Amino acid sequence: MPKFTWNIDPILVHIGPLAIRYYSLLFVFVFLGGYSLLKWQIERGGGDEEDAGDFIVYGVLGVLVGSRLGHVLFYDLDKALKDPLWVFRIWEGGLASHGAVLGLIFAMYLFTKRRHVPFLEGADRFSFSAALGATLVRVGNFFNSEIVGRVTDQSWGVRFPRYDRGVGEVPYRHPSQLYEVALGLFVLLCLWLFDKKLGKEKRPRGALISLFFALYFPGRFVVEYFKEYQTLPTSSALTMGQYLSIPAALLGFYGLYWAFKRKLPVGWVRPEYDDEDYDDEDYDDEDEDDDNYDPDVEEEFAKPEKVSKKSKKPAKKAKKAPPPEDDEDEDEDEEDDDDEPPKKSKKATPSEDEDDEDDESPEPPPVEKKSTKKKKVEPEPDDDDD
């Protein structure tokens, strides 16, 4: 590639007071292209289009917030302190890929937790979109004449007059943005070949996102040798990007080892849940989506059924409830009547005991013993006296 000068206006077109930049347009391509790749991956794994649409929104928001905050904290904190509103003017450039990764991880965690999908499953499905986004964003950096490379005398050097303002002779620099564009395309190609080689859905869970980390961040570490220092002084052994790339690359290598050791099956699956795992709002949302939904019928029949499922124990207690008080009173009266004759028999006269013995049927042996004892105490009849 021969040397050339890059001095293109970063604004593509003006629509009234609104300025459409190349950088903003490329972000639209990131959203559309990322959605297409994510939809392809999720539907192949068993998900639906709605999951892809929601996931890409989470991902783009996470990337925007994370990359902007990462750039502010890692590279331009002094500028943000002088002009706080500059933090919100993201169309002017200034996004850090390492911050984008952190924001994307947080967004994926929120989405997968809400949809009850394994985190690594969601991360694998997003890896293609992440590689495409890393590629197109660097194209936007090139249009903005930012994140330029170091001065070089190579035949492919590029001059950036918009970056080197106030300099007598604009030097040639490494087009480091284009180096990272090539890196992103290389990673995207490797992901596709890796996915195809392992048989699409036969790869272990966590392998795709780990491969992305293991390829992109070591490549980013190498490209940093050609990029201009942004935060740390030139006396530093490494740039800020290199320091941040080391843990990310190590995480990718370990992730590949872990994924092929565990060999977890892939698939956009959700675990089964019991009725207790759903709130009343979840039932209401499902019912309202039904065409035959009737709120009056639902209120009369559906809700009692839910309550009855959860009130099995109280029903059992109701079966063991005591009888009514009236029956208790009648039973107590009968028991009192049955108990009164034995009380009188203890104080009965001898004659009454004899009459009772004549009327009663033959008693078992214990009763006969009692009768003999009583006869000893009873007086003799008066027939002899007469």
Label residue 322 by pLDDT band (50, 70, 90).
low
Q: What is the pLDDT of residues 196-220, one digit of tens each?
A: 988 778 889 999 999 999 999 999 9
pTM for the whole structure: 0.68
> Rounded to an integer, what distance in angstroms lies between the CA atom of residue 197 and that of residue 302?
51
Q: Where are the domains of the chain?
A: 4-262, 342-381
Going by pLDDT thresholds of 50, 70 and 90, the confidence category of residue 270 is low
Neighbours of 45 (CB within 10 A): 19
Would you state the structure tokens that stand for residue 290, as one six-digit string? 């039904």
Instruction: Read off the pLDDT of each residue in 111-131 and give the average, rounded to a whole number.
Output: 94
pLDDT digit string, tens, across residues 144-192: 998 899 999 999 999 999 988 877 789 999 999 999 999 999 999 999 9
Phi, psi of 238 (to 5 degrees): -130, 160
Confidence of residue 89 (pLDDT cuts 50, 70, 90): confident
pLDDT at 220: 95
For residue 240, is pLDDT > 60? yes
Looking at the predicted structure, is the pLDDT value of residue 292 above 80?
Answer: no
The reported pLDDT for the residue numbered 323 is 53
Helix (H) or strand (E) holding 173: strand 172-173
The total of other beta-carbon atoms located within 10 Å of residue 74's CB is 17
Query: Does the structure show a pLDDT above 60 at 20?
Result: yes
> Which residues are paired to 173 by β-bridges?
151, 158
Q: Is the separation of the CB atoms in 121 and 268 below 8 Å?
A: yes
Q: How many residues appear in the chain?
A: 386
d(CA 26, CA 14): 16
> What average pLDDT does this structure show over 364-376?
48
